Each structure stands twice: as C-alpha cells, then as structure tokens.
Amino acid sequence: MQTTQCSCSGELAPIKEELRAITLQMTTFNKEFLFFERFIESFVMATKREFEVLKKILKELPLTAATGSTTSNMSKREELKEVVDLLPLTTLEDLKSFEQFLIEENNSKLFEAVISPIGGKNGDDHIANAIKHCFHLSLQNKCNWSGMNEKEPLKSATIIKLIINSICTSQYSITQAQSRIKYLLQHTYDRMKSEQKKNDANYTILEES
C-alpha cells in the first residue's frame, strides 16, 4: 500500500518566515517606541518644571483691574517671561551677555523674582534647582568658584550674587549658599557622566534594533 507524503511542512515554511519577519518588525518598533517614549517623558518633565516656575512667578502678580494696575501687571508678566526665556545659559558668551543684562537694576529685580519661587525641600535644594535652571550642564563644566584651571570664575558674578540674595534667609546663610554652589560646580562632571549614561542607554535601544 503506497503512503502519501504530506506537503504541509513545505507549505507552512513561507508563513513561518513571514511571521518571524513580522515579529522582528514589532520588536524593533517596540524598542523605538520605548526610546521616543522616554524622550517625550523627559521633554514633558522639563517643560512642566519651566511651566511651574513661571506659574509661581505669575501668581505673585495677580491681575487687579479694580485698582487700575492691569496694564502694569501685564507688562511685568511679559518682562518676567523674557527673563525666563533667556535661561538656562548655555555658553560663556551667554553668561557674559546676561551679566551685562543684569547691570540694569530693573533686570536684576526681575531675575530675583524668577529665582525666588523656584523653591526646594531646603536651602541647598533651592540653590541646586536655581543653578540647574540658570546654567546648562555644559556651561557649569566650564566654570568654577575661583577660576582655577583656566575656568570661568563665578565667585564675583552678578548672577551668583543675585541667586544667593534671593534664596538666603535667617535659616540659610550666605556661607551655606556659597558652599553649596562650590560643591555643585566641583561635581558637574559627575552629573554630566550620569546624563550621558542615560542618553547612551536610550541610543543602545535603537542600535540593538
């Protein structure tokens, strides 16, 4: 009796290959989606922080039409937003330009009004948030407190003095604020490595796909 050989395996082979290809495409898509999800999450968090800072500032300037101060308050809001938009500083040229900008008394007051509401769990945290808000990591890496190793000294910078003035209280001294800033500048490279690690991890996801 002759046995008929089933050709199912041969017929299924192309289907299996197609399924494998689809699975690979889905895996690649999932990896790319995860990368962009992380990127968007990071962007949203940064934007949210900027929005919260601006919201705190604007809350201090309520519109009071009854007192006839609506126009002046609107003008103040616009001025504050202009200062917020200048930050963070990214280059030494930006820093020098901003130092010139702060020479004008009104601009100094506006800057202090931007820094004060940033807040933090304590004085050290407030200083850290202010430095992060004002200086990009790449610029922090080009600066230090005293100017050693051919870096830009911040000890006498107007922006630093105003940050300290706007944060220091009877519970948080100028000396404490200065020490915190020195520490942050000394450890900028560590924070840069940490950021680079995160970026490398995200890019690895795409490379593996």
Residue 73 in domain? yes
Q: Using one digit for the tens of pLDDT, what is the confidence trace for 98-107?
A: 999 999 999 9
Residue 141 in domain? yes
Residue 14 in domain? no
Residue 19 in domain? no
pLDDT exceeds 90 at position 133: yes
**Structural domain boundaries enclosing 166:** 24-208
Residue 95 in domain? yes
What distance, in Å, lies between the first and last C-alpha atoms of the chain? 53
Total-model pTM: 0.66
Residue 49 in domain? yes
Burial bucket for residue 131 (CB in 10 Å: 0-12, 13-18, 19+): buried
What average pLDDT does the chain have? 81
DSSP character string of 148-168: GGGPEE-TT-HHHHHHHHHH-
Q: Give the separation between CA 144 and CA 162, rounded to whole angstroms.
A: 17
Residue 86 in domain? yes
Looking at the structure of the chain, the number of domains it has is 1
Q: Give the separation between CA 11 and CA 72, rounded to whole angstroms.
A: 79
Q: Is the dihedral of CA 135, 141, 142, 148 positive or negative?
A: positive
pLDDT exceeds 60 at position 183: yes
Q: Which of 103, 164, 179, 104 shows the shortest CA–CA distance to 134? A: 164
Give how far the C-alpha of residue 28 lies from the chain's centroid of Cα atoms, to the nearest Å.
29
Q: For the ranges 104-108, 183-187, 195-199, which has the lowest average pLDDT?
A: 195-199
Residue 176 in domain? yes
Identify which has the larger pLDDT, 102 or 46. 102
31 HSE (CA, 13 A, CB side): 15
Q: Using one digit for the tens of pLDDT, what is the confidence trace for 58-85?
A: 555 544 444 445 556 668 888 999 999 9
